[in-house]
């Protein structure tokens, strides 16, 4: 039994039955009461009442990557991703949990997510600093910066950019399982010609379906007036119960979420580091 947890919302016994595979794991999770992840960097420890320690044999040719199944069985923080999203709702939806798991595992194998590495991307994807991790919010949650104006709408290979976005998500859960992230959409000097709905929708869908539980909240920084209607539309892509996780900030209000020593000087902070 792990450490005491002062604030609990529910206990879930989560037995995954992948379709059409066999049962391969059983976990008991204690979920925290916090809905958006601002207060707790990590989900509290798991209370293990049932655990299958060894993976079932996954036959070649099935819908899932055997390495993903092994990670699900071996890394509890990875397994918890698939029920963390339930904190946004009022009740545990077992069928939804099964569906999200199945969709995620199928998508991962189809897109060879487990095999992604830096070698797959041109150097300028990293050098342009359009999407990158840097610093933390006030609760020590990592910040993933997405500078909208850098990837030029209509001039990029969107499928390659989507893989690069996935690569960043994947690096986070691989190196820091159980750690949530804040996405900081930087809209400075951004107009309608920069805003690629296809890429933004991919980010939202990935967080809701393929990386459930990864997102703590989103910050939209310095939204231009011309993009207000666009971001109202984007917000509707989120489930109703998660829309409050989108925060619109400027140079005066961003310090409510990120301390000045974690903000670059061009955003009004004092951090000396550059991307």
Higher-scoring residue by pLDDT: 32, 246: 246
Positions of CATH 3.40.525.10 in the chain: 122-267
Residue 155: other Cβ atoms inside 10 A: 7
Distance (Å, whole) CA 232 – CA 226: 12
**This prediction's pTM:** 0.78
153-197 pLDDT, tens per residue?
888 899 999 999 999 999 999 999 889 999 999 999 998 888 899
Q: State the Cα–Cα distance between residues 47 and 28, nearest whole angstrom.
A: 6
Per DSSP, what are the bridge partners of residue 14? 27
Where do we find the tokens 């069928």? Answer: 95
- Tally Cβ neighbours within 10 Å of residue 256: 12
Of residues 207 and 57, the one with the higher pLDDT is: 207
For the segment 14-21, the average pLDDT, to the nearest whole number, is 38
Q: SS3 of 84, please?
A: helix
pLDDT of res. 85: 57
Helices (H), 123-196: 123-127, 158-175
* Predicted pLDDT at 274: 63
Q: Which CATH architecture has domain 122-267?
A: 3-Layer(aba) Sandwich (3.40)
What would the DSSP string read from start to end of 15-51?
A: EE--SSS---EEEEEEEES-SSSSS-SBPPPP--S--
Please answer whether residues 76 and 44 qualify as being in contact, where contact means their C-beta atoms are separated by less than 8 angstroms: no
Going by C-beta distance under 8 Å and a sequence separation of 6 or more, which residues neighbour residue 193? 153
Which secondary-structure segment (H or E) carries 99? Answer: helix 94-110
Q: What is the pLDDT of residues 108-118, one digit of tens each?
A: 999 999 999 99
Quick one: average pLDDT of 8-31? 37
Q: What pLDDT, on a 0 to 100 scale, did the predictor assign at position 192?
A: 86
**Average pLDDT in the chain:** 77
Q: Encode pLDDT of 85-110 as tens digits.
A: 554 455 666 677 778 888 889 999 99
Is residue 84 within 8 Å of 212, Cβ to Cβ? yes
The count of C-alpha atoms lying within 13 angstroms of the C-alpha of 97, restricted to the half-sphere facing its C-beta, is 22
Answer whether 163's CB lies under 8 Å from 121's CB: yes
């Amino acid at each position: 039994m792990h450490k005491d947890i002062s604030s609990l919302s529910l206990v879930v016994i989560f037995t995954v039955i992948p379709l059409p595979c066999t049962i391969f794991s059983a976990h008991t999770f204690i979920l925290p009461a916090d809905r958006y992840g601002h207060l707790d960097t990590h989900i509290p420890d798991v209370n293990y009442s049932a655990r299958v320690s060894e993976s079932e044999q996954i036959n070649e040719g099935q819908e899932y990557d055997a390495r993903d199944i092994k990670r699900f069985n071996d890394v509890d923080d990875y397994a918890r991703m698939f029920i963390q999203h339930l904190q946004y709702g009022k009740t545990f939806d077992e069928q939804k949990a099964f569906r999200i798991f199945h969709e995620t595992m199928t998508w991962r194998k189809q897109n060879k997510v487990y095999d992604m590495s830096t070698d797959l991307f041109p150097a300028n994807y990293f050098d342009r600093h359009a999407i990158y991790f840097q610093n933390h919010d006030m609760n020590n949650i990592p910040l993933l910066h997405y500078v909208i104006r850098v990837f030029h709408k209509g001039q990029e290979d969107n499928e390659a950019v989507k893989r690069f976005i996935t690569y960043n998500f994947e690096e986070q859960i691989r190196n820091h399982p159980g750690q949530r992230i804040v996405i900081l959409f930087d809209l400075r000097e951004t107009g309608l010609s920069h805003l690629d709905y296809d890429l933004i929708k991919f980010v939202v869908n990935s967080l809701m379906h393929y990386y459930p539980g990864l997102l703590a909240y989103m910050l939209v920084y310095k939204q231009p007036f011309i993009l207000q209607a666009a971001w109202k539309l984007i917000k509707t892509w989120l489930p109703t119960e998660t829309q409050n996780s989108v925060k619109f900030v400027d140079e005066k209000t961003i310090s409510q979420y990120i301390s000045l020593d974690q903000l670059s000087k061009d955003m009004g902070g004092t951090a000396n580091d550059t991307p």
